Amino acid sequence: MLKYKISYMKDKIIYCPLIFLVILALYLYTANAFIYFRIGQGNLITPVRQDSYTMSNDKNTVTKIYTALGDSLTSGVGTDKYEESYPYLLANRMENDGTNIVLNNFSVPGAQTKDLINNSLDSAIATQPDIITLFIGVNDVHNHIGRAQFEKNYTYILERLTKETKAKIYLINIPLIGSHTTILPPLDYYFEKETDSYNKVIAKLAAKYQLQDIDLNTPTKELFRFDGAHYSADSFHPSAAGYQLWANIIYDSFNK
């Protein structure tokens, strides 16, 4: 009987941690899938946009080409119309400051750095822009691409942009995105740490190539942890108000 009890206790010691790990793994898998469920549940559309926009008035004598590179956050997903996206808002601000602006947006919802390289980079360079905003990386983080691969891809993008254009290039770092009702714990903690890690790569490469690194993460992190008017229906993509906030931060960072 004693041997049976000892054997039973050993079995409990072995199996209890295994059961806990199985439950934890199932929870993490479900929590990660829930993010995409919430995004799909939002039924968001990608705003229809033209190939190019020209913002000008008779008083402006200088014309500059502004090319935006990115993913759904640059496409304006979460808004009803493209005119509420941050690139369009930025172009308007620059035009109001006395420069005619031609806006080209090379962004694809869901794009990772590798997709930008394969599908958008050549076309963006062909516009020979005067201004470039590069805002990519959220999907690399959420698809667990890995910091090393992200750095390799991002470096390739910067190599080509700096050598094949004469543009003023602004690197927009990765914001904390997804409210507490979309990204459940402990994934919220995990993605925050991953975002900080990837942003260190962007900061390092900005210094290497002597480019401006615009910090979108720090001033918006606390706000975007929670639901509010800054979010669209999926609590992941910004609303028009959220994009307006981003546009203000980015524009205020120009030439600092």
**Across the chain, what does the average pLDDT equal?**
92
Q: Tell me the mean pLDDT in the region 82-101.
A: 95
Q: Write the secondary structure of 22-77 as one string of H (helix), E (strand) and C (coil).
A: HHHHHHHHHHHHHHHHHHHHCCCCCCCCCCCEEECCCCCCEEEEEEEEECHHHHCE
CATH 3.30.310.50 at 42-253, yes or no: no
What pLDDT, in 10s, does the model give residues 142-190? 999 999 999 999 999 999 999 999 999 999 999 999 999 999 999 999 9
Residue 172 has φ and ψ, to the nearest 5°, of -100, 120
For tokens 């941050």, the residue is: 86
With a pLDDT cut of 70, the percent of the chain lying above it is 93
Map out the domains of the chain as residue ranges: 42-253
Question: Model pTM?
Answer: 0.90
Bridge partners of 131? 66, 168
The reported pLDDT for the residue numbered 14 is 55
